[in-house]
Chains A and B, each alone.
Chain A
Amino acid sequence: MSSWIELLTENFDALASGFWVTCRLVVGSFLLAAIVGTFVAALRVAPSKWLQRAGGVYVETFRNIPLLVLLFIAYFGLRRAGLPINTWTAGISALGLYTAAYVAEVLRSGVFAVSRGQIEAALSLGFDQRETLRRIVLPQAMRTVISPLGSITIAMIKNSVIVGGAVAINDLLKESRIIASRTFETEAAFFWAAVGYLLLTVAATLAIRRLEHRYAIRR
């Protein structure tokens, strides 16, 4: 065990830089996924059939292509086609757009979870469309989507290792593999990588807990 701590102190800079790269990758992809996901969800519940279909095409495309293939298309494919996309843009857009499809589905199901009867009741009580959405539908939808969004975020943190592997970004896993290949201390190197990922997923879990608590129904 002492040699494991030694490995951490000796390679702290490398592991910290890998951790930081993973953080940036995850935060960037999360923001992109949240923005695009909300937009696509809005399309899917829009009053026009064509907008709904456009949203559906997005979700089915990005959800049905494996992340690794998306990365190859975003990085190698586009570069071959003459578009000099950089590593970070390719990595964040692939992971973000992939996750956005899942976010959109969760948001849509959240909105649909509020029964039609409530909307009719609100409208008949004199709320207008906007108010109905803001005061009746969204607060209830929010409650149902928090937990699945948390699962998606955690899945995204773990999926970030695929980005590091495919487009040669030195993320946490890659840095620990470099350390493992240099020191041959495979177990210790991967143990610290696991601790790093655990820090991120635990942080995400706690954030989700807080949100769940805030939106919980007080009975």
Chain B
Amino acid sequence: MQGTTWRWIAILALALGVLVASGCGDDDDEGGGSAATTTAPAQEFAAGTTMARLQEAGEITIGVKYDVPPFGFKNPRSNAIEGFDIDIGKAIAADLGVRPKFIEAISDNRIPFLKDGTADLILSTMTINAERDEEIDFSEPYFIARGRILVKKTNNEINGVDDLAGKEVCTVLGSTYEETLKKQAPRAERRLVDTYSECLELVQNGAVDAESTDDVILTGHIIQDDSLKLVGEPLTTEPYGAGIKDGDKEFKEFVDGSIQKFKDDGRWARTYQKWIGRYTGEDQEPPTMTLQEAIDLSK
């Protein structure tokens, strides 16, 4: 015993050394895919507005999903963040003449991120509804999704929302489906996780019977794993809007204008084709629903 004491002291010293070293090496590698084309400032803005502040900083921080193909996801090959939401974010940043910096904002923390200034803008498959509109401001709707149910192809028991009674259904904490399921399938057991990729895993390994969320997100799952299918009629209509800090009128107008331009000049249709139409074989027109209609829909 006694002879090995020095070894233990050596190991202890080593462990301490490793701890100290790892504590120091805290490097920041956030914001992948921020190397976008920076055009010359398109517009001058009055001092004190969010736009002027962002131009001063030369950067806009946009909260997006990192695990929701085809809206916001990390490309495993290039490690860049890509998707429909990302392309809209890049367009808005280009109109401002600043660099977009993308950070991960999951459903549960995106509204706090806007409130505390961690993110300047949220583009993370966020459905416009009345409760959220009390907390933050929304842009006009830039996409319309529909709520659906996803099950394994081998599952013949669940063919619609009424079959969910007594079954376990996964959805994401802080998403609108928590309430939707409570209302439309009150006897289903809801399993709430942080991200859609966790839901996908739970459906794949059979821990839950079904997943319910927006059709485009579920289509993303089916692209990853074709042993899954969508069942039943759409449960809900989910208009997506960009999240803006509550009361920032000028910035909301700017974002609305930028999104309107994106819709009008054909970029929206091309982007839709690039991320969604390619897989579903359908074309789609940009949404014409207004923000007020979207809010009324949720009441």
A166-201 contact mask (Cβ, 8 Å, vs B): 1 or 0: 001010001001101110101000000000000000
Query: Contact: B205 with A76, CB < 8 Å?
Result: yes
**A contact residues, range:** 10 to 19
CB contact list, A118-148 vs B, under 8 A: none
CB contact list, B148-194 vs A, under 8 A: 170, 173-174, 178-179, 191-194
| Bound Cα distance A80, B206 (Å) | 9
* A87 proximal to B (CB < 8 A): yes
* A84 proximal to B (CB < 8 A): yes
| B contact residues around A209 at 8 Å (CB) | none
Query: Contact: A178 with B178, CB < 8 Å?
Result: yes
| B contact residues around A182 at 8 Å (CB) | 131, 178-179
| Bound Cα distance A79, B204 (Å) | 10
| Bound Cα distance A170, B40 (Å) | 50
* Minimum CB–CB distance for A18 against chain B, Å: 12
Query: Contact: B192 with A178, CB < 8 Å?
Result: yes
Query: Contact: A177 with B108, CB < 8 Å?
Result: yes
Query: Contact: B201 with A76, CB < 8 Å?
Result: yes
Dominant secondary structure of chain B at its interface with chain A = mixed
* A19 proximal to B (CB < 8 A): no
CB contact list, B190-211 vs A, under 8 A: 191-194, 198, 201-202, 205-207
Q: Which residues of A contact B (CB under 8 A)?
A: 75-76, 79-80, 84, 87, 165, 168, 170, 174, 177-178, 180-182, 184, 186
Q: Can you sample 22 A-B contacts with CB below 8 Å?
A: A75-B207, A76-B205, A79-B206, A84-B206, A87-B207, A165-B194, A168-B191, A168-B202, A177-B108, A177-B173, A177-B174, A178-B173, A178-B192, A180-B108, A181-B108, A181-B173, A181-B178, A182-B131, A182-B178, A182-B179, A184-B131, A184-B135
Q: Which residues of B contact A (CB under 8 A)?
A: 107-108, 111-112, 131, 134-135, 170, 173-174, 178-179, 191-194, 198, 201-202, 205-207
